[in-house]
Amino acid sequence: MTRITFVEADGTRHEIEAENGSSVMETAIKNGVPGIIGECGGACTCATCHVYVEPEWVEKTGVPSPMEEDMLDFAFEVRPNSRLSCQIIVSDELDGLVVDVPTQQA
């Protein structure tokens, strides 16, 4: 099991045991983290699972694929550490990962 922390815009923290192999978006939805919608169900076609990866984790989560970059155009308040959480797959490597949930999804 891998620990992932979601931080809501108001600072509320949700520490969750995530299942390896599932996506960070699925982890959030399964555990009812507010602010992550996942309208398209994880097909990288909606930009409603936008998160900010805390800077110290950016290297481990990697960079968005060109398709994810395209879809981030539909997100709001995009920053250099913006990711679509359906495209981050949980693994042992990510144990302790912290992501911030934006104030509003697209």
Contact positions vs other proteins (CB under 8 A): 39-40, 43, 45-47, 69-70, 72-74, 76-78, 103-104, 106
**Which of residues 97 and 102 has its CB atom nearest to other proteins in the complex?**
102
Choose between 15 and 79: whose C-beta lies nearer to other proteins. Answer: 79
Query: Which of 84, 90, 48, 53 minimizes the C-alpha distance to 68?
Result: 84
Residue 17 CB, nearest distance to other proteins (Å)? 27
51 three-state secondary structure:
strand
b/e per residue 55-82 (b: at least 16 CB within 10 A): eebeeebeebeeebeebbeebeebeeeb
Query: Is the CB of 18 or the CB of 106 nearer to other proteins?
Result: 106
Q: How far is the CB of 15 from other proteins (least distance, A)?
A: 27
